[in-house]
Amino acid sequence: MRNQMLGRCPVCNSGLEVTKLHCPHCDTGIEGRFQICKFCQLPPDQKAFVEVFIKSRGNIKEVEKELGISYPTVRSRLEAVIESLGYKPQPVPKDDPEAKEKRKTILEDLNSGKISSEEAIAKLRDL
């Protein structure tokens, strides 16, 4: 198994640049300055998250199950990846079906006494 290419400098954490490429089939070498793809520059934990997210076809409930994390944590990690890729995250629309379902569950838990009003407020703020 080959080592995975580094995307960030292990000393200063800046993005690395590829300066030489090699074809093992015909032994051709190419030198120059090449950019590393944005995904290669993500930290390992974000790469792992993106892999699960893609494998789950973007289904947040599946990501929650596989990683054992809550909806707000999935959203937070997704926003962090978006920012790491150089994009400005967009606010989650209030009519997002998954957010609506989460709000409903929180309110049902509050109504049944499973959580306190303080816990409900904190969970609703995280959405």
In this model, does residue 1 exceed pLDDT 70? no
CA distance 103 to 14: 40
Model confidence, pTM? 0.57
Place of tokens 């909806």: 71
All structural domains of the chain with their residue ranges: 1-37, 42-90, 94-127
CA distance 102 to 100: 5
In this model, does residue 102 exceed pLDDT 80? yes
- How much is the mean pLDDT over the chain? 87
CA distance 107 to 115: 9
What digits encode the pLDDT tens for the residues 20-55?
Answer: 989 999 999 999 998 888 888 888 899 999 999 999
pLDDT tier for residue 88 given thresholds of 50, 70 and 90: confident
